[in-house]
């Protein structure tokens, strides 16, 4: 068979064993996977495992924080998350500050149509002698019910000088 499992059902009181030809691993006593259909009394065929990660996009409402006035500034990150299923998705975000200081994180609520939006508070500040400026990287991670993950990142800069 292609892309799935061959499993064998043994006499009463013996756990079901599932053989995955991709990994050559037998799993004893495992619960039957979703969409299992019985081919016969002694064997059944299971649906292929979900190995396709979700798709994720992320875009920040601001590419730059200016002026660098030392104020926490709201930045909205939005995008979409999709998966061909089955099962529910979960999503979360992290912020990586190149200064290692302002790094909020949290969970994301994904709407039924796959869209999402959340707001983080980022500090509009950089060191005066920092020619490269400060960068916040917001990373969105989505995970499907089978544990496949995908990420998308978007950056927000606090430049040293405006327009540089």
Nearer to Ca ion, 22 or 43 (CB): 22
Nearer to Ca ion, 80 or 157 (CB): 80
Which residue from 140, 72, 77 is spatially nearest to 101, judged by alpha carbons?
72
Nearer to Ca ion, 65 or 144 (CB): 144
CA distances from 56 to 20, 30, 40, 94, 134 (A): 29, 31, 41, 14, 25
In the complex, least distance from residue 78 CB atom to Ca ion, rounded to whole angstroms: 22
The stretch among 12-20, 26-34, 50-58, 109-117 that binds Ca ion (CB under 5 A) is 50-58
ω before 13 within 30° of 0 (cis)? Answer: no
**Angle made by CA atoms 120, 130, 105, in degrees to the nearest 5:** 20
Establish if 141 lies at the interface with Ca ion (CB under 5 A): no
In the complex, least distance from residue 4 CB atom to Ca ion, rounded to whole angstroms: 15
Among 14, 42, 52, 107, binds Ca ion (CB under 5 A): 52
Contact by Cβ (8 Å): 143, 89: yes
In the complex, least distance from residue 83 CB atom to Ca ion, rounded to whole angstroms: 4
Residues near Ca ion, by CB under 5 A:
50, 52, 83, 144
């Amino acid at each position: 068979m292609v892309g799935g499992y061959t499993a064998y059902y043994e006499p009463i009181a013996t756990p079901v064993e599932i053989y995955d030809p991709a990994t050559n691993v037998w799993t004893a006593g495992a619960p039957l996977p979703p969409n299992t259909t019985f081919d016969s009394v002694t064997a059944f065929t299971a649906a292929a495992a979900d190995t396709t990660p979700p798709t994720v996009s992320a875009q920040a409402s601001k590419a730059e924080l200016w002026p660098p006035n030392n104020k926490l500034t709201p930045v909205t990150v939005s995008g979409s998350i999709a998966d061909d299923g089955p099962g529910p998705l979960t999503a979360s975000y992290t912020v990586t500050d190149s200064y290692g200081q302002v790094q909020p994180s949290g969970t994301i609520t994904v709407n039924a149509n796959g869209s999402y939006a959340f707001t983080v508070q980022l500090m509009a500040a950089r060191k005066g002698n920092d020619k490269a400026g400060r960068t916040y990287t917001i990373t969105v991670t989505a995970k499907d019910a089978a544990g496949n993950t995908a990420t998308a990142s978007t950056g927000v800069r606090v430049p040293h000088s405006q327009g540089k």
